């Protein structure tokens, strides 16, 4: 098994996200396809006009670390 690139608590951005929304890594798992990361996510419920918080899952190659300014 290869070591994971991100750890719990890391702040990451989905590659290709034009808004570069920052997510926090909540957990990860490993299988024959590599690491999958569970991260925070937010969506807008247009009908209710509110932000809904949830989780998303990304493969290791789909996210990158947040750049510190």
pLDDT tens digits for range 27-68: 999 999 999 999 999 888 999 999 999 999 999 999 999 987
On whether the pTM is more than 0.85, the answer is no
pLDDT at 68: 75
pLDDT at 1: 54
CB 5 within 8 A of CB 35: yes
Round to whole Å and give the CA distance between 9 and 27. 8
CB 6 within 8 A of CB 14: no
Between 17 and 25, whose confidence is greater? 25
Q: How far is residue 69 from each of residues 40, 44, 58, measured CA to CA in Å? A: 21, 27, 24
């Amino acid at each position: 098994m290869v070591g994971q690139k991100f750890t719990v608590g890391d702040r990451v951005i989905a590659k290709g996200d034009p808004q570069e929304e920052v997510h926090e890594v909540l957990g990860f798992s490993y299988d024959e396809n590599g690491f999958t990361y569970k991260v925070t996510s937010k969506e807008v419920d247009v009908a209710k006009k509110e932000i809904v918080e949830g989780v998303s899952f990304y493969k290791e190659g789909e996210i990158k670390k947040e750049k510190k300014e």
